Protein backbone atom coordinates (compact mmCIF):
# COMPACT_ATOMS: atom_id res chain seq x y z
CA UNK A 1 0.00 0.00 0.00
CA UNK A 2 1.37 3.39 -1.03
CA UNK A 3 -0.27 6.35 0.71
CA UNK A 4 0.27 9.94 -0.32
CA UNK A 5 -0.18 12.59 2.38
CA UNK A 6 -0.84 15.99 0.85
CA UNK A 7 -2.43 19.36 1.54
CA UNK A 8 -1.81 23.04 2.03
CA UNK A 9 1.49 24.33 3.41
CA UNK A 10 1.60 24.01 7.18
CA UNK A 11 -1.64 22.01 7.41
CA UNK A 12 0.12 19.16 9.24
CA UNK A 13 1.17 16.73 6.47
CA UNK A 14 4.52 15.84 8.06
CA UNK A 15 3.04 15.61 11.55
CA UNK A 16 0.28 13.23 10.45
CA UNK A 17 2.68 11.21 8.24
CA UNK A 18 5.10 10.66 11.15
CA UNK A 19 2.41 9.80 13.72
CA UNK A 20 0.77 7.47 11.22
CA UNK A 21 3.91 5.47 10.38
CA UNK A 22 4.63 5.08 14.10
CA UNK A 23 1.11 3.82 14.72
CA UNK A 24 1.17 1.43 11.73
CA UNK A 25 4.54 0.05 12.86
CA UNK A 26 3.14 -0.55 16.36
CA UNK A 27 0.32 -2.52 14.73
CA UNK A 28 2.89 -4.92 13.22
CA UNK A 29 3.15 -3.54 9.70
CA UNK A 30 6.46 -2.80 8.01
CA UNK A 31 6.59 0.89 7.20
CA UNK A 32 8.64 3.19 5.02
CA UNK A 33 8.29 6.95 5.29
CA UNK A 34 9.26 8.74 2.07
CA UNK A 35 10.16 12.40 2.29
CA UNK A 36 9.11 13.77 -1.10
CA UNK A 37 9.37 17.42 -0.04
CA UNK A 38 12.46 18.87 -1.71
CA UNK A 39 12.49 21.96 0.51
CA UNK A 40 11.77 21.18 4.18
CA UNK A 41 14.45 19.33 6.13
CA UNK A 42 12.85 18.44 9.47
CA UNK A 43 10.92 15.23 8.77
CA UNK A 44 13.60 12.83 10.05
CA UNK A 45 13.87 14.78 13.28
CA UNK A 46 10.15 14.36 13.97
CA UNK A 47 10.80 10.64 13.80
CA UNK A 48 14.09 10.74 15.75
CA UNK A 49 16.47 10.34 12.81
CA UNK A 50 19.25 12.80 11.95
CA UNK A 51 20.22 11.13 8.67
CA UNK A 52 20.19 13.47 5.68
CA UNK A 53 21.20 11.26 2.73
CA UNK A 54 18.77 10.90 -0.17
CA UNK A 55 17.90 8.64 -3.08
CA UNK A 56 19.11 11.36 -5.43
CA UNK A 57 22.53 11.38 -3.69
CA UNK A 58 22.72 7.57 -3.83
CA UNK A 59 22.10 7.69 -7.58
CA UNK A 60 24.95 10.13 -8.26
CA UNK A 61 23.31 13.50 -7.55
CA UNK A 62 21.11 15.96 -9.37
CA UNK A 63 23.47 16.88 -12.22
CA UNK A 64 24.07 13.25 -13.10
CA UNK A 65 20.33 12.49 -13.10
CA UNK A 66 19.62 15.59 -15.16
CA UNK A 67 22.18 14.49 -17.79
CA UNK A 68 20.70 10.99 -17.96
CA UNK A 69 17.21 12.48 -18.35
CA UNK A 70 18.40 14.82 -21.15
CA UNK A 71 20.11 11.93 -22.96
CA UNK A 72 17.11 9.64 -22.80
CA UNK A 73 14.54 12.33 -23.61
CA UNK A 74 15.29 12.97 -27.36
CA UNK A 75 15.23 9.23 -28.03
CA UNK A 76 11.89 8.96 -26.29
CA UNK A 77 13.40 6.27 -24.09
CA UNK A 78 12.71 5.98 -20.38
CA UNK A 79 15.82 5.86 -18.21
CA UNK A 80 16.70 2.36 -17.14
CA UNK A 81 16.13 3.49 -13.59
CA UNK A 82 12.67 4.67 -14.57
CA UNK A 83 11.57 1.35 -16.01
CA UNK A 84 12.91 -0.88 -13.25
CA UNK A 85 10.53 -2.41 -10.69
CA UNK A 86 11.63 -1.92 -7.09
CA UNK A 87 10.84 -3.73 -3.89
CA UNK A 88 11.53 -1.93 -0.62
CA UNK A 89 14.54 -4.29 -0.21
CA UNK A 90 16.02 -2.95 -3.51
CA UNK A 91 16.25 0.64 -2.26
CA UNK A 92 19.94 1.64 -1.96
CA UNK A 93 20.87 1.13 1.71
CA UNK A 94 22.79 4.42 1.73
CA UNK A 95 19.63 6.47 1.52
CA UNK A 96 17.62 4.54 4.11
CA UNK A 97 17.81 5.00 7.82
CA UNK A 98 15.93 3.13 10.50
CA UNK A 99 14.58 4.61 13.72
CA UNK A 100 12.54 2.58 16.18
CA UNK A 101 11.63 0.08 13.48
CA UNK A 102 10.47 2.74 11.01
CA UNK A 103 12.46 3.17 7.80
CA UNK A 104 12.80 6.64 6.35
CA UNK A 105 14.27 7.97 3.12
CA UNK A 106 14.26 11.27 1.23
CA UNK A 107 13.97 11.65 -2.54
CA UNK A 108 16.30 14.66 -2.74
CA UNK A 109 16.72 18.19 -1.40
CA UNK A 110 17.53 21.59 -2.84
CA UNK A 111 21.02 22.33 -1.50
CA UNK A 112 22.77 25.12 -3.42
CA UNK A 113 22.04 28.61 -4.62
CA UNK A 114 21.27 28.63 -8.35
CA UNK A 115 21.22 24.84 -8.68
CA UNK A 116 18.02 24.92 -10.77
CA UNK A 117 14.46 23.84 -10.19
CA UNK A 118 13.27 20.75 -8.36
CA UNK A 119 11.98 18.99 -11.50
CA UNK A 120 14.59 16.19 -11.33
CA UNK A 121 13.44 15.42 -7.78
CA UNK A 122 9.84 15.39 -8.98
CA UNK A 123 10.65 13.08 -11.89
CA UNK A 124 12.65 10.80 -9.60
CA UNK A 125 9.84 10.70 -7.02
CA UNK A 126 7.31 9.72 -9.67
CA UNK A 127 9.56 7.08 -11.24
CA UNK A 128 10.45 5.64 -7.86
CA UNK A 129 6.86 5.42 -6.61
CA UNK A 130 5.37 4.18 -9.88
CA UNK A 131 7.89 1.32 -9.91
CA UNK A 132 7.80 0.48 -6.21
CA UNK A 133 6.00 -2.74 -5.29
CA UNK A 134 5.54 -2.96 -1.52
CA UNK A 135 4.71 -6.37 -0.03
CA UNK A 136 1.20 -6.87 1.39
CA UNK A 137 2.38 -6.05 4.93
CA UNK A 138 4.42 -3.01 3.88
CA UNK A 139 2.96 0.49 3.97
CA UNK A 140 4.80 3.31 2.22
CA UNK A 141 3.72 6.74 3.47
CA UNK A 142 4.77 9.61 1.23
CA UNK A 143 5.02 13.09 2.74
CA UNK A 144 4.39 15.37 -0.25
CA UNK A 145 5.45 18.97 -0.73
CA UNK A 146 2.82 21.63 -0.05
CA UNK A 147 0.15 22.33 -2.64
CA UNK A 148 -0.78 20.43 -5.78
CA UNK A 149 2.23 20.52 -8.09
CA UNK A 150 2.61 16.78 -7.53
CA UNK A 151 -0.82 16.29 -9.12
CA UNK A 152 0.39 18.21 -12.17
CA UNK A 153 3.34 15.87 -12.39
CA UNK A 154 1.18 12.78 -11.94
CA UNK A 155 2.90 11.51 -8.79
CA UNK A 156 -0.45 10.01 -7.75
CA UNK A 157 -0.13 7.42 -10.54
CA UNK A 158 2.30 5.63 -8.23
CA UNK A 159 0.05 5.77 -5.15
CA UNK A 160 -2.89 3.67 -3.98
CA UNK A 161 -4.59 6.17 -1.69
CA UNK A 162 -4.48 9.90 -1.03
CA UNK A 163 -4.88 11.44 2.41
CA UNK A 164 -5.45 15.20 2.21
CA UNK A 165 -4.86 17.16 5.39
CA UNK A 166 -7.24 20.05 5.94
CA UNK A 167 -6.47 22.66 8.58
CA UNK A 168 -9.14 25.19 9.51
CA UNK A 169 -8.44 27.89 6.92
CA UNK A 170 -10.46 28.92 3.91
CA UNK A 171 -7.46 28.21 1.66
CA UNK A 172 -7.49 24.60 2.87
CA UNK A 173 -11.21 24.29 2.13
CA UNK A 174 -10.68 25.57 -1.42
CA UNK A 175 -7.63 23.35 -1.92
CA UNK A 176 -9.60 20.34 -0.65
CA UNK A 177 -12.19 20.96 -3.39
CA UNK A 178 -9.46 21.14 -6.01
CA UNK A 179 -7.75 18.00 -4.66
CA UNK A 180 -11.14 16.27 -4.87
CA UNK A 181 -11.36 17.05 -8.59
CA UNK A 182 -7.75 16.06 -9.27
CA UNK A 183 -7.96 12.78 -7.35
CA UNK A 184 -11.13 11.87 -9.26
CA UNK A 185 -9.36 12.45 -12.59
CA UNK A 186 -6.41 10.40 -11.36
CA UNK A 187 -8.84 7.62 -10.39
CA UNK A 188 -7.48 7.44 -6.84
CA UNK A 189 -9.24 6.97 -3.50
CA UNK A 190 -9.17 10.20 -1.53
CA UNK A 191 -9.86 10.74 2.16
CA UNK A 192 -9.61 13.89 4.24
CA UNK A 193 -8.15 14.42 7.68
CA UNK A 194 -9.20 17.53 9.52
CA UNK A 195 -6.30 18.77 11.62
CA UNK A 196 -5.99 21.32 14.42
CA UNK A 197 -9.76 21.38 14.93
CA UNK A 198 -12.09 21.75 17.92
CA UNK A 199 -15.77 20.73 18.04
CA UNK A 200 -16.77 24.37 17.33
CA UNK A 201 -14.44 24.58 14.33
CA UNK A 202 -15.67 21.20 13.05
CA UNK A 203 -19.21 22.62 12.93
CA UNK A 204 -18.01 25.46 10.71
CA UNK A 205 -15.94 23.15 8.46
CA UNK A 206 -18.90 20.83 8.01
CA UNK A 207 -20.83 23.70 6.41
CA UNK A 208 -18.22 23.85 3.63
CA UNK A 209 -17.11 20.23 3.24
CA UNK A 210 -18.88 16.94 2.79
CA UNK A 211 -17.98 14.82 5.83
CA UNK A 212 -18.45 11.44 4.11
CA UNK A 213 -14.77 11.09 3.32
CA UNK A 214 -13.37 12.55 6.54
CA UNK A 215 -11.37 9.78 8.25
CA UNK A 216 -10.37 11.63 11.42
CA UNK A 217 -10.61 14.97 13.20
CA UNK A 218 -7.35 15.74 15.01
CA UNK A 219 -7.35 18.42 17.72
CA UNK A 220 -4.78 21.16 18.22
CA UNK A 221 -2.35 19.42 20.56
CA UNK A 222 0.17 21.36 22.66
CA UNK A 223 2.60 18.43 23.00
CA UNK A 224 2.77 18.00 19.21
CA UNK A 225 3.32 21.71 18.79
CA UNK A 226 6.14 22.01 21.38
CA UNK A 227 7.95 18.82 20.30
CA UNK A 228 7.81 20.01 16.72
CA UNK A 229 8.98 23.51 17.67
CA UNK A 230 12.01 22.05 19.45
CA UNK A 231 12.82 19.58 16.67
CA UNK A 232 12.19 16.63 18.97
CA UNK A 233 10.67 13.28 17.95
CA UNK A 234 6.87 13.27 18.15
CA UNK A 235 5.53 11.14 20.99
CA UNK A 236 1.78 11.83 20.89
CA UNK A 237 -0.47 8.79 20.92
CA UNK A 238 -3.77 10.03 19.53
CA UNK A 239 -6.84 7.85 19.07
CA UNK A 240 -7.60 9.84 15.89
CA UNK A 241 -4.35 8.53 14.37
CA UNK A 242 -5.36 5.01 15.45
CA UNK A 243 -8.66 5.54 13.61
CA UNK A 244 -6.71 6.25 10.42
CA UNK A 245 -4.51 3.17 11.02
CA UNK A 246 -7.64 1.02 11.55
CA UNK A 247 -8.99 2.17 8.23
CA UNK A 248 -5.72 1.50 6.39
CA UNK A 249 -5.38 -1.97 7.91
CA UNK A 250 -8.98 -2.80 6.97
CA UNK A 251 -8.31 -1.62 3.41
CA UNK A 252 -5.17 -3.76 3.16
CA UNK A 253 -7.00 -6.81 4.52
CA UNK A 254 -9.90 -6.23 2.17
CA UNK A 255 -7.52 -6.11 -0.81
CA UNK A 256 -5.83 -9.44 0.06
Q: Could you count the other beta carbons within 10 Å of the beta carbon of residue 193?
A: 27
Query: Nearer to ligand ATP by C-beta: 12 or 134?
Result: 12
Q: Among 11, 14, 97, 228, indicate the residue that binds Mg ion (CB under 5 A).
A: 14
- Binders of Mg ion in range 22-51 (CB under 5 A): 40
Pick one of Mg ion, ligand ATP, none as the site partner of residue 10 (Cβ within 5 to 8 A by kind).
ligand ATP
* Residue span binding ligand ATP (CB under 6 A) among the ranges 11-19, 93-101, 108-116, 131-139: 11-19
Q: What count of other Cβ atoms lies within 10 Å of the Cβ of residue 138?
A: 20
Distance CA 35, CA 52 (A): 11
- CA 30 – CA 25 distance, rounded (Å): 6
Q: From the list 62, 196, 205, 209, which residue makes contact with ligand ATP (rule: CB under 6 A)?
A: 196
Q: At CA 97, angle to CA 96 and CA 103, rounded to 5?
A: 85
Whole-angstrom distance, CA of residue 221 vs CA of residue 240:
12
User: Residues in contact with ligand ATP, total (CB under 6 A)?
Assistant: 19
- Kind of pairing between the strands at 2-7 and 161-166: parallel
Q: Please identify, using beta-carbon distances, which residue of 19 and 129 lies nearer to ligand ATP.
A: 19
Among 3, 4, 13, 241, which residue interacts with ligand ATP (rule: CB under 6 A)? 13
Residues that bind Mg ion (CB under 5 A): 13-14, 40
Amino acid sequence: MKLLVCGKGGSGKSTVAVLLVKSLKNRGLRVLLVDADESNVGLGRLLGSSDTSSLLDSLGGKKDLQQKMMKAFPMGKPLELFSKRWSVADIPRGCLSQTDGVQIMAIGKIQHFGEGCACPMGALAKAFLCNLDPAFDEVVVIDAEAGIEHFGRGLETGCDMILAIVDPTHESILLAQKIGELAKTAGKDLYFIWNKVSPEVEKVLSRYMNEDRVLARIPQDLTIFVESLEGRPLTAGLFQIEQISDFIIQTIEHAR
